[in-house]
Amino acid sequence: MDAKSIIDSLVNKFQDSLTDAKVDSDIRISAYLEPEKIKDVCQYLKDELAFDHLSSETAIDYPKKDEIVVVYHIASYDHPVLLTIKVKLPRDAPEIESIVPVYWNANWYEREIYELFGVKFNNHPDLRQLVLPEELLGDWPLRKDYEGFPNTTARNLV
């Protein structure tokens, strides 16, 4: 399976929700996606295109553009193509469907994004903190406007 045929297949299937889909190199593809389609796209990738390996899932904060972008890197154990999917979410109420039902190991990635960026994953089986203490929930430390310890955390220490 090569990058070109994969992207053709994806664009055919999800024409309306994919934007800016392009081939970056022989084995790299990237695309922007509408948030509501993420689970369907992942399911399709896994079932039809052998993308069975969620390599990473993360978020980027863009305070100036007032958006948080969730980034998925999906690869395969059988072919070398790696797909980057980006989903733009509004910064004041970021919310997206969880992909844990498709990729089991998304569980910890999504918990981490939730505690560090405040992105809410709908239908996640266990959405709570992973690495930070519970008192820090709501501080979203990886957002760019986080003031840092102890400015926004001191209230918890009293």
Partner 1 sequence: MDENVGPSEMIVHLGPQHPMQPGPFRLNLRLRGETVVDAEIELGFIHKGIEKILESKTYLQGIPIVDRICYLTAMTNEEAYVGAVEKLADIEVPERSQYIRVILEELSRLQSHLLGMGEFGEFIGFVSMFMYTIKEREDILTLMDMVTGARVTHTFLKYGGVRGDLPEGFREKSATIFAGLKEQIAEYRRLFNGDEIYKQRCFGVGTLEAKTARDLGVSGPALRATGVAFDIRKDEPYLVYKDLDFKVCTATDGDIAARIEVRLDEMLEAMYIIEQCLDQMPSGPLFYEDSLYGVRTPTMRVPEGDVFHRVEDPRGEMGFYVVSDGSDKPHRVKIRGPVYPTMQALPPLIKGTTVADVAAIAGSMDGCTSEADR
Which residues contribute to the site for partner 1 (CB under 8 A)? 27, 52-56, 58, 60-61, 71, 73, 77, 80, 82, 84, 103-105, 107-109, 129-133, 141-142
Q: Which is nearer to partner 1, 37 or 71 (CB)?
A: 71
What is the rounded distance in angstroms from the CA atom of residue 82 to the CA atom of residue 45? 11
Q: Assign residue 90 a region: left if phi > 0, alpha if psi is -120 to 50, beta otherwise?
A: beta
Nearer to partner 1, 11 or 60 (CB): 60
Specify the DSSP element, H or E, that contains 154: helix 154-157
Beta partners for residue 28, in sequence order: 25, 82
Q: Which is nearer to partner 1, 133 or 150 (CB)?
A: 133
Closest separation between CB of residue 12 and partner 1, Å?
25
Residue placing its CB nearer to partner 1 in the complex, 15 or 64 = 64
Q: 80 or 90, CB closer to partner 1? A: 80
CB of 58 to partner 1, least distance (A): 4
Least Å from the CB of residue 49 to partner 1: 15
CB of 88 to partner 1, least distance (A): 14
Least Å distance, CB 4 to partner 1, is 17
Q: How many other C-beta atoms can be found within 10 angstroms of the C-beta atom of residue 16?
A: 7
Scored b (16 or more CB within 10 A) or e, 45-81 reads: bbeebebeebbebebebeeeeebbbbebbbbbeeeeb
